[in-house]
Amino acid sequence: MTKQNASKNGAAATKGAISIRNVTKIYDPEGVNVKAVDNCSMEIAGGEICMIVGPSGCGKSTLLNAIAGFHSITEGQIDVDGEMLCGPGREKADQGADRMVVFQNGALFPWKTLVENVAYGPMVQGALNKAQAMDKAGTMLAEAGLGDVIKKFPGEVSSGMSRRAEIVRALINDPKVLLLDEPYRAMDALTKQIMHESLLETYDRTKVTIFFITHDLEEAIFLGDKAHVVTTRPCQLKKTVEVNIPRPRSYETQSSEAFRALLSEVNEAVHEEAVKAFQAGEREMA
Closest CA to 68 of 93, 39, 40: 93
Cα separations in angstroms, 130 against 135, 152, 154: 8, 18, 20
Map out the domains of the chain as residue ranges: 16-98+176-273, 108-174
CATH number, domain 16-98+176-273, options 3.40.50.970, 3.40.50.300, 3.30.590.10, 3.10.180.10:
3.40.50.300
Spatial contact of 236 and 40, defined as CB atoms under 8 Å apart: yes
- Whether this prediction's pTM lies above 0.75 is answered by yes
| pLDDT in 10s for each residue of the chain, 286 residues | 343 444 344 444 468 999 999 999 998 866 678 899 999 999 999 999 999 998 888 889 999 999 999 999 999 999 999 999 999 999 999 999 999 999 887 789 999 999 999 999 999 988 899 999 999 999 999 999 999 999 999 999 998 999 999 999 999 989 999 999 999 988 888 889 999 999 999 999 899 999 999 999 999 999 999 999 999 989 999 999 999 999 888 888 889 999 999 999 999 999 888 888 777 764 443 3
